[in-house]
Amino acid sequence: MAKLDEKIESIYNDVLKRNPGEIEFHQAVLEVLESLGPVVVKHPEYLERKIIERICEPERQIIFRVPWQDDKGQVHINRGFRVEFNSSLGPYKGGLRFHPSVYLGIIKFLGFEQIFKNSLTGLPIGGGKGGSDFDPKGKSDDEVMRFCQSFMTELYRHLGEHTDVPAGDIGVGGREIGYMFGQYKRITNRYEPGVLTGKGLTWGGSLVRTEATGYGATYFINEALKVRKDTFEGKTCLVSGSGNVAIYTIEKIHQLGGKCVACSDSNGVIYHEKGLDLDLIKQLKEVERRRISDYALAHKDAKYIPNGNIWDIPCQVAMPSATQNEINGKDAAKLVKNGCIAVGEGANMPTTPEGVKVFLDAKIAYGPGKAANAGGVATSALEMQQNAQRDSWTFEDTEAKLENIMKNIHANCYETAEEYGAPGNYVLGANICGFIKVANAMVAHGLV
């Protein structure tokens, strides 16, 4: 275990005892608690009022059965989750993930991260997360619809624009949000667009929401490069994944003058030395739902590496945008050795603790997910604002607001790291900045 302040170590040990086997949640908690030693010295009231213990315990954990029928009439049973972690700053806000790997520990890790991520945006939203072990891959539209309707038939009673507002995550895009919103509307007899975000543009959605996480992560790293008197211009970049986050990270990097040469999916890596063809990736992934290996059919000079490791390719900027723990200590060391100067996490916790230590020791510009990928939830909150006002903003206005939010997140993390004696350490800056805002709200609200 990493060295913790002695006042905090017993709190972490209690988390381990109360949440056995939930290794991702343990990792997320440890990563935050490691930063809080100097905070509790400065704010002893947090220990007196058990703020850390209370933050580590969700306000509510909901687990439910999701029965559904496939196109052949076969009945399937999945498990649904919603962890409403902390509402000190506003209604619970966080995505829904549909993936076979989902279990309570994954949802709690994501929800815990979401508390601090949402705090960093400066917007009035609390932290939560949900999902199911359902796999939408290979399912027909009708099967996905039936699952989403069954899922929402239970979840709807826990939601509301002033209570809990889910969005999408891995396996949950516009199609799934649409089916869930339709069922919510049907059950409640209310057209309440603020209850889900990531909606279609014709029925309450926000421009830039699709692009937000990828754009936001790129804006964050752009700011981190600026304080080092550098830019994306001419930089060779790697972006893992080829879903929503990866696609729009690539797009913004290209707009800022960088060159992305590789991306990936769960089957392998595509490497195109002269630069990725983003239009083709969008066609393959967003329209035709095909594998990234098909990229090489259109570009003979591109190389497809089955089950390859994207982090073996030399780069100056790495943007992990796929899933948790995709960069280990060995990968991180290779990236640094090959000349990587900046890493921006578009995914949630994509770097293992060993990898994080390598990046921090090398003093590269390392943007942790709770700060770098906050653009997605920030734009979800902007969507909630538009819904509340019965309004719709232009792409330019919404993107300008997103860019400003990401600049503020960067500045707050940077300044907090300096204040606590660790200049350039965005991990410590993000953890402390996000924590203090939530902690102060909890103190103000009393013992609830």
334 is in an annotated binding site: no
Selecting among 108, 129, 235, 370, the annotated active-site residue is 129
Residue 318, helix vs strand vs coil: strand
Closest CA to 347 of 35, 24, 26, 1: 24
Radius of gyration from C-alpha coordinates of the chain: 21
Closest CA to 175 of 139, 203, 209, 200: 200
Residue 262, helix vs strand vs coil: strand
Please report how the helices 23-33 and 353-362 are oriented relative to each other, as an axis angle in degrees rounded to 10. Answer: 30
Closest CA to 376 of 210, 207, 246: 210
Residue 48, helix vs strand vs coil: helix
244 is in an annotated binding site: yes
The amino acid at residue 342 is: A
Q: Token pair for residue 87? A: 């509402």
CA atoms of 43 and 64, how far apart (whole Å): 39
3-state percent helix, strand, coil for the chain, nearest multiple of 5: 50, 15, 35
Q: In 60-184, at which residue ranges do the beta strands (DSSP E only) sit?
A: 60-69, 75-86, 92-98, 126-132, 164-168
Q: Which region holds residue 346: left if phi is over 0, alpha if psi is between -120 and 50, else beta?
A: alpha
95 is in an annotated binding site: no
CA atoms of 65 and 78, how far apart (whole Å): 6
The amino acid at residue 318 is: A
185 is in an annotated binding site: no
Q: Token pair for residue 441? A: 């709200």
149 is in an annotated binding site: no
86 is in an annotated binding site: no
CA atoms of 63 and 74, how far apart (whole Å): 23
The amino acid at residue 162 is: H
218 is in an annotated binding site: no
- Helix ranges restricted to H, 141-240: 141-155, 174-188, 212-226
Residue 264, helix vs strand vs coil: strand
Concerning whether 226 is annotated as a catalytic residue, the answer is no
CA atoms of 349 and 341, how far apart (whole Å): 19
Which segments are annotated as binding site for substrate? 93, 114, 117, 168, 380
Q: Which residues are catalytic?
A: 129
Residue set of the binding site for NAD(+): 213, 244
Annotated binding-site residues read 93, 114, 117, 168, 213, 244, 380
